Amino acid sequence: MIYLDHAATSWPKPPEVLAAMQDYLERAGGNPGRSGHRLSIAAGRVVYDTREALAGFFGINDPLRVIFTLNATHALNIAIQGLLHAGDRVVTGGMEHNAVMRPLRGMEARGVQVVVAPADGAGMLSPAAFAEALPPGAKLVILNHASNVCGSIAPVAEIAALAHQAGALVLVDAAQSAGVIPTELPALGADLLAFTGHKGLLGPPGTGGLVLADTFDPAQLQPLVRGGTGSRSEYEIQPDDLPDRYESGTPNGVGIAGLGAGLKWLLERGGTVREHELALAARLREGLDAIPELQLFGPTDPRKATGVISFTLAGKRVSEIGYRLDEEFDIQCRVGLHCAPAAHRSLGTFPQGTVRLALGPTTAPEEIETVLRAVARIAQT
C-alpha cells in the first residue's frame, strides 16, 4: 500500500509514538494537575514535557503559552471566537480551510466584518493583495501558512509586517506546515498560531494546540470553554493563569504523550521533513506534468510549496481517479474539495475539486515512480 494522504493525517506513526501512549496508560494514568499522588504527578510531567518541547519548537520562551486543544479546528475557534466582537474587522486569504472560514462566517452573522484578500490562480497569497484588502482599524489577519489543497506556502512574515503596521494581530493556521517547514512564531511574525498534532507532528488524532507569542496579551482573548482546571478550585470564575484560562476539563494525556514522542522523533531528524519532501515533490510534479491529459495546480516552483500536490485528468471525474488509484494500485489519496471550497474557488477547481497526493516522512522515491505509472495508466484507459 502507498499512503499519500498525509495532509489528512500522517500514517504510520513512528513506533515511539505508540510506545509512549502505551507507557502513559500503564505508568502515568492519573489525571494531570488534579491530584497529589504518584500517577497524577507522572501524568502532569508528561503533559508538561510535551508543552515545553512544543514551546521550543515554536520558538517561544514560556511553555505555559502552549494551549492544548483537540485539533487545529478547536485552536482556531478559541482564537477567532475569543478575539472578535461585533464591529471588528478581520482579513483572511483566499486559501483558507473551513476550519477558518466557518467560524469566521459564524462571527460575520454576529456583526464581525470579514474581508478576503484573493489568492492568485496558483494558490499564492501576496502582500500586495493584503495591503489592498486591509481595512482601516482591522483587528485581526488570519493566514493559512501552507495550503492543504495545493501546498502553496504563504509569505506570512511579509503579510504579518503589513498587518502589524496597520495595528492588527496575526493568527497563523499552521495545520499543514508544523513539522513540514519552519514554524517559529517570531520568524513568522505570528501573535497566535494554531497547530494540529496528528499531521506533520506525527502525533495521534485528538491533539493540537494554540500557541500564544510571548508578546501577546491574553487579556484580549476570552476563553471559549470554562470549567475545572485543577487550579484555584475555591473560585467559581475561570482562572486567568496560563494555560488554565483556556484548558478546562481533563486533557488528552495519552494523546499528548504520543504527540511528545512524535515531536521528539522529528527533532532528532532536524525538526521538519522539508528536505526529504522537497526532492520527492519536485520529481512527482515533473512526472505528473509530463502526462498530456493532466492539469497540475499550485506553484510551479517546488520551493514555494509543500509536498501536497493537486491535479485533474481531462475527461475523468476525480472520484473515479481516486477510486481506481485505491482499487487497482493500492494508492491512498484524497479527492474532492478537501474542506476548502475557498481554496478551490481560487484555483478554479470548484465544485469538482482535485485529486490530492500528500507526501510524508515515510514516502519513498520508488513509491513516487509507482504513482506516476499508475496515474499515466488511468489517464490512458
Ligand X SMILES: Cc1ncc(COP(=O)(O)O)c(C=O)c1O
- Give me the residues that bind ligand X (CB under 6 A), please: 71-73, 97, 99, 144, 148, 173, 175-176, 196, 208
10 vs 363 by CB, closer to ligand X: 10
First and final CA of the chain: distance in angstroms?
Answer: 22
Residue labelled with grid coordinates 511579509 = 158
Task: Go through the chain and tell me how many residues it has.
Answer: 381
Of 345, 259, 271, the closest CA to residue 72 belongs to 259
Q: Which of 227, 260, 197, 266 is nearest to 23 (CA)?
A: 260
Measured from the CB atom, is 13 or 97 closer to ligand X? 97
CA pair distance 265, 40, nearest whole angstrom: 25
- Cβ 153 to ligand X shortest distance, Å: 12
Cβ of residue 349: shortest distance to ligand X, in angstroms? Answer: 16
Q: Tell the smallest beta-carbon distance from residue 166 to ligand X (Å).
A: 24
Nearer to ligand X, 62 or 120 (CB): 120
Sheet holding 308-313, edge to edge: 294-297, 308-313, 354-358, 334-336
Nearer to ligand X, 173 or 191 (CB): 173
Task: Give least dist CB 345 to ligand X, A.
Answer: 15
d(CA 140, CA 192): 10
CB of 95 or CB of 374, closer to ligand X = 95
| Dihedrals phi, psi of 92, to nearest 5 degrees | -135, 175
**Could you tell me the smallest distance in angstroms from the CB atom of residue 143 to ligand X?**
10
Q: Is 333 left (phi over 0), alpha (psi -120 to 50) or beta?
A: beta
Query: Residue 148 or 229: which CB sits closer to ligand X?
Result: 148
Q: Is 63 exposed, middle or buried (0-12, 13-18, 19+ CB in 10 A)?
A: middle
Closest approach of Cβ 14 to ligand X, in Å? 19
Distance CA(99)–CA(152), nearest Å, equals 18
Cβ proximity to ligand X: between 30 and 123 the closer is: 123
Q: How far is the CB of 273 from ligand X (least distance, A)?
A: 16
